[in-house]
Structure 1
């Protein structure tokens, strides 16, 4: 099963403000930057309880009919979700993925700060697409947290948009990290031009 992250962050690395507000992410949101295509490629969304609570404030269910798994140990109320397919799970990231694989699901969208951090620390994320919004907010909910070891990334592409968004895509590649440490070689710089 493939697990992907596709998210927007401030240049200083925050997914949301301390109060969970996402207002700063609106810069450039009218400019297509691949989210629709990405979202069409996934067959399940995995989010944490806090992300679920933030999504409920949007006024309409953001995920349409795509199955959504909300991770929480506490009971959740899904009564306000209209026309959505949503369920609750708890457990370690590997257990969650085992359950989803057993259903025949192939590609999961992992979203929400703590959820992304837990799945990264467990070594389960295959792809990261991070879009930097041209703003510094100084404090908030970070995309990354402590990790139990170095997590090596293979750069796939970096794209610039007229609105100032800069999007970088990475694949997780444990073998490459070992080779770089042994040889001391790193990848060549990539020229980035606005689209």
Structure 2
């Protein structure tokens, strides 16, 4: 059976996941230290991670990677130096989902704006958790890119946090 493909991401109120330069300082400054906004609970059911190269570059210097040994697949056309536990590949979303099914994975966390968009376009995302940060960036890297297809999701849960952030959890309708 194909693994469940999940998104867990934060966005500004105006829909950006990073500043125009790719920076995430706005997000670090908005988060309350010590609060993970449901991330640890989400990760308890994740078997592997997939991310785009731009997202990987934000964490590449971390040693060890903060995923408790879960395999990480980085989608890129410009692979960096090999790293234990990280696979760099150029697979399509469909090829990736087939490979993860072959590996017997139950749930894969898909991260990074462009990568999320390509999995959405292939109609492979099963659920999306978005934490909305009450800040207007005005410009930046958008969470969602133009698509040729309508995708419907239903709201499963809405949680507000004392610092004004709101987490919205959706699953495919």
What does residue 166 of structure 1 align with? 166
Q: Which has the larger radius of gyration?
A: 1
What does residue 113 of structure 2 align with? 113
Aligned pairs for 1:73-152 (under 5 A) are: 73-79=77-83, 85-152=85-152
What does residue 10 of structure 2 align with? 8
Name which structure has the greater RCO, CA cutoff 8 Å, separation 6+. 2
* Partner Cα distance (1:130, 1:77) in 2: 31
Q: TM-score, normalised by structure 1?
A: 0.81
Partner of 1:45: helix, strand, or coil? strand
What does residue 40 of structure 1 align with? 44
Partner of 1:41: helix, strand, or coil? coil
Q: TM-score, normalised by structure 2?
A: 0.91
The 8 Å contact of residues 93 and 118 in structure 1, kept in 2 or not, is answered as yes
Consecutive unaligned residues of structure 1, counting only runs of 5 or more, are 174-195
* Partner Cα distance (1:139, 1:55) in 2: 23
The 8 Å contact of residues 8 and 133 in structure 1, kept in 2 or not, is answered as yes
Count of residues in correspondence between the two structures: 169
The 8 Å contact of residues 31 and 163 in structure 1, kept in 2 or not, is answered as no
Consecutive unaligned residues of structure 2, counting only runs of 5 or more, are none
RMSD over aligned Cα atoms: 1.6
Partner of 2:44: helix, strand, or coil? helix
Q: After TM superposition, where is structure 1 displaced by more than 3 Å over at least 4 residues in a row? A: 57-60
* Partner Cα distance (1:136, 1:58) in 2: 29
Partner of 2:120: helix, strand, or coil? helix
* Partner Cα distance (1:127, 1:86) in 2: 24
Q: 1:31 aligns with which of 22, 30, 35?
A: 35
Quick check: 106-115 or 69-78, which moved more?
Answer: 69-78
Distance 1:58 1:137, change over 3 A: farther
